[in-house]
């Protein structure tokens, strides 16, 4: 277990805002987690690579990081089973699988963040979600000081949500995930951009296309700090959908079961006239309205204020309250927008 005191977090969050944690614990073994659990006081926050976190105050709570590393691949007759430790990089894992001819992760290329963060928000892109390939998640409980294997069906996976953001929030830490990937899998090519590929495109070709599309639309946080999509795509009732469609016949929409429709948050923000909008040193990205970028502010509060403005303007125009995908963290823990 390592413990560092008064640690600046600017280089540990992809918005690159200033915040200081009084204590940063890092654990790469269960023994280390047990030691931390004995000392731990609320509030604390589990931080991965900081690519979905906005520190909204100058002070942050105590931070815990899982430093577990390693990838184990087991071949069964029909599947590959991968046990991957929490501190591995998600994108490196995708590349490794594609290089080894293991299909199933290629649509999820270039998603920033660690493997341990993937189940928390059930990461997803281009028609594939983490829950599609998850078998189980290993989670250390700070109260019982024991490691628990949580099976996929117990993870409460939903669109950008899971039990780790709900009932288990603040109660433990993910140490590894187990993925199950069929040896024979059908490429998922229904999203625009991938639909131009041939129906038997290889995982390598799909990954290359996903990377090309993402690079053309999404700013690289190394050069323009951001946390990817700031808001979730709203899922609305059929009634509201039809009301809006009458006014905006070109509005993109995706049915969710029989009674709900998913709308594109980026489209709503753009229609509200906010694509490229700036507020001081922060702004809505010029190419992708779903992304908020930091042009040079030191303060997470500035980003939060812009997000509040976006939420207000979109609500005024469409009667839809956008909910953030990014997690907002103040001195006393997670806060809402």
The answer to whether residue 327 is catalytic is no
With respect to ligand NAP, which residue has the nearer C-beta, 135 or 253? 253
Could you say whether residue 192 binds ligand NAP (CB under 6 A)?
Answer: yes
Task: Please name which of 128, 144, 231 lies closest in space to residue 189, comparing C-alpha atoms.
Answer: 128
Minimum Å gap between C-beta 143 and ligand NAP is: 31
With respect to ligand NAP, which residue has the nearer C-beta, 27 or 307? 307
Task: Give buried/exposed letters for 36-50 (b at 16+ CB in 10 A, else e).
Answer: bbeeeeeebbbbbbb
Subset of 23-42 contacting ligand NAP (CB under 6 A):
none
The answer to whether residue 325 is catalytic is yes
Max Cα–Cα distance, the chain, nearest Å? 60
Subset of 119-178 contacting ligand NAP (CB under 6 A):
124-126
Task: Give buried/exposed letters for 201-240 (b at 16+ CB in 10 A, else e).
Answer: bebebbbbbbbebbeeebbebeebbbbbbbbbbbebeeeb
Subset of 272-311 contacting ligand NAP (CB under 6 A):
290
Answer yes or no: are the C-beta atoms of 17 and 58 closer than 8 Å.
no
Q: How far apart are CA 302 and CA 304, in angstroms?
A: 5
Could you say whether residue 233 binds ligand NAP (CB under 6 A)?
Answer: yes
Could you say whether residue 220 binds ligand NAP (CB under 6 A)?
Answer: no
Could you say whether residue 235 binds ligand NAP (CB under 6 A)?
Answer: no
Q: Which of 53, 229, 294, 297 is the binder for ligand NAP (CB under 6 A)?
A: 229
Q: Which of 120, 168, 218, 236 is the binder for ligand NAP (CB under 6 A)?
A: 218
| Candidate segments 134-142, 161-169, 187-195, 196-204, binder of ligand NAP by CB under 6 A | 187-195
161 CB neighbour count, 10 Å cutoff = 15
Q: Any residues with CB less than 8 A from the CB of 69 and at least 6 apart, and which? A: 28, 85, 87, 88
- β-pairing, 20-27 with 62-66? parallel
| Candidate segments 31-39, 69-77, 189-197, 268-276, binder of ligand NAP by CB under 6 A | 189-197
Taking each helix axis from N to C end, the angle separating 90-99 and 203-217, rounded to the nearest 10 degrees, works out to 150
The answer to whether residue 229 is catalytic is yes
Contacts with ligand NAP, residue ranges (CB under 6 A): 124-126, 190-192, 217-218, 228-229, 233, 252, 254, 264, 266, 290, 325
Active site residues: 160, 229, 325
């Amino acid at each position: 277990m390592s413990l560092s005191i008064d640690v600046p977090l600017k280089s540990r969050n992809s918005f690159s805002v200033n915040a200081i944690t009084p204590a940063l614990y890092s654990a790469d073994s269960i023994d280390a987690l047990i030691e931390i659990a004995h000392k731990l006081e609320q509030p604390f926050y589990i931080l991965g690579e900081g690519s979905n976190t906005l520190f909204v105050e100058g002070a942050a709570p105590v931070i815990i990081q899982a430093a577990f590393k390693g990838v184990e691949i087991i071949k069964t007759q029909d599947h590959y089973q991968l046990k991957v430790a929490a501190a591995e990089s998600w994108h490196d894992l995708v590349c490794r699988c594609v290089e080894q001819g293991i299909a199933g992760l290629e649509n999820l290329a270039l998603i920033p963040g660690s493997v341990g963060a993937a189940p928390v928000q059930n990461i997803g892109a281009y028609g594939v979600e983490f829950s599609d390939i998850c078998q189980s998640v290993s989670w250390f409980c700070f109260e019982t000081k024991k490691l628990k294997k949580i099976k996929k069906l117990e993870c409460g996976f939903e669109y950008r949500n899971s039990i780790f953001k709900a009932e288990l929030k603040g109660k433990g830490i993910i140490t590894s995930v187990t993925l199950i990937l069929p040896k024979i899998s059908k490429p998922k090519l229904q999203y625009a951009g991938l639909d131009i590929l041939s129906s038997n495109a290889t995982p390598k070709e799909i990954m290359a296309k996903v990377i090309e599309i993402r690079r053309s639309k999404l700013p690289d946080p190394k050069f323009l700090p951001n946390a990817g999509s700031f808001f979730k795509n709203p899922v609305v009732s059929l009634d509201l959908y039809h009301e809006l469609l009458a006014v905006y016949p070109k509005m993109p929409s995706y049915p969710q079961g029989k009674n709900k429709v998913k709308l594109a948050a980026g489209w709503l923000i753009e229609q509200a006239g906010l694509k490229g909008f700036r507020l001081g040193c922060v702004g809505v990205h010029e190419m992708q309205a779903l992304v908020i970028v930091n042009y040079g502010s030191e303060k997470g509060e500035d980003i939060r204020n812009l997000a509040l403005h976006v939420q207000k303007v979109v609500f005024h125009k469409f009667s839809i309250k956008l909910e953030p995908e990014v997690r907002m963290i103040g001195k006393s823990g997670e806060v809402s927008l």
